[in-house]
Amino acid sequence: MTFRLHYSAISDVGRVRKDNQDSGYAGPWLLTVCDGVGGAARGDVASSTAIQQLRELDDPPADESGSGLLDRVSSALHQAHVNIGRLVDADPALDGTSTTATVALFDGSRVGIGHVGDSRAYLFRDRELSQLTKDHTFVQSLIDEGRISEEESRVHPHRNLILKALDGMQEADPDLFMIELTDGDRLLLCSDGASGVLDDGRLADILSMGTPDFAAVELVRASLEAGSSDNVTCIVADVVTEDAAAADPAYAELEPLLVGAAAELRRRSPRGKGSLFRGHRAGDTGELEPIDAEIHDDRPAARPIRSDPLDPEEARYAPIAPARFVWLSRLLVLAVVVGVLWVAAAAAWSWTQDQYFVGEHDGNVVIYRGINTDLPGISLNELYQTSDVELDRLSPYDAGRVSDGIEVSDLDAAKETVQNLATEMTAPTDEPG
């Protein structure tokens, strides 16, 4: 049986970020979400570049096997990776930009999934939700090792650390697989702005209701209400028979949807290229009020203040009378600057002496006083307290954390951390002989 997709897509900047670095596309044959990474390195450019390449997949399928479908997905992801690399080569300011990519390519009865990063694809079938993709993240590796639970991963301090992305430098090696579809299936592709705050039960509740339009909007709304601090992008698509699609007027009106940064960057005028900020301080033009031409000096025989416009070039090159006692003014300024720097340095040093971290010394876990960094020729920490916890009796993960330095809030927290590590120590290995 041949099916059709009834789809909807929405992307929202959220309540914290100033710009949207997500991009999404939904069409008759293609659903895809990309979540840009990079901040100042313009993750919006990476995600929109990837989407512009991936959307070329949205064509009626040829009569091909499942491997052919996945080959097309893999090739498009590779080309998106190459295109991002070209942008970085052309503009070094983009160095560090990258994007996740989750792709579902439809051929009438199946979808070929391609996945890199921590955006997700889900299948809602018979009122049961299945996560199709697996996050390429540090916290997912901890879940796989049984170190933390899914619930703990949502609040882990390194939950945003991804291990794979399209960055134009290293080939990402995407996950590729096929899913057979059936009438009534509902697909969800989303960025981690949604999946990071909504658990499977909440996602299933929302996906069980209404049209794709309703579900997509409700998913974004629920994500923001749940406290998502990220951009949120959701694509929802229903799998329907051709007869059902032909009988539904809404399906006939469907057009491909481009959302998020990919849509916004295309609409920006060349004049706005210099800044990502839209809008202006209300009513503030940054200009002074004009001087009234009728204002006069109170002194006798005073002349009215000049009101005719001064030639800009005349003002620019007009000679300025030299100031008196320039050297004294500069000396006073220098003295003030040196004084401020001295006070700031003293305050900074005093602050470092109230900081602690857990580290390693001579193979043992110890507590350092100060901060976990040094300046050339200046040590900003000192050994405060040693312990009997041996580094080589800790797990590789804990030993690595200690070697890097474990930041803590105060001395009590440092002692508690050492105590917790002591309970994790393995028994000593017997020496041979």
| pLDDT, tens digit (0-9, with 9 covering 90-100), for 26-41 | 999 999 999 998 766 7
Which sequence spans correspond to the domains of the chain?
A: 3-267, 356-424
- Identify the three-state secondary structure at position 18: coil
* Angle, CA of 65, 66 and 69, to the nearest 5°: 95
Q: In CATH, what number does 3-267 get?
A: 3.60.40.10
Of the candidates 397, 402, 395, the one whose C-alpha atom is nearest the C-alpha of residue 364 is 402
| Percentage of the chain exceeding pLDDT 90 | 54
DSSP H helices, 167-260, are 192-195, 200-207, 212-225, 242-247, 249-252
Lowest mean pLDDT among 102-116, 146-160, 176-190, 281-295: 281-295
Please give the residue that has the higher pLDDT: either 267 or 76. Answer: 76
Mean pLDDT of the 73-96 span: 94
Measured between alpha carbons, how far is 64 from 24 in angstroms, rounded to an integer? 26
Q: What is the mean pLDDT of the chain?
A: 83
pLDDT in tens, 234-273: 999 999 999 999 998 888 889 999 999 999 876 553 333 3
The full DSSP string for 311-328 is PHHHHHH---PPPTTHHH
Q: Tell me the two tokens of residue 146.
A: 């049984």
Predicted local distance difference test score (pLDDT) of residue 64: 67
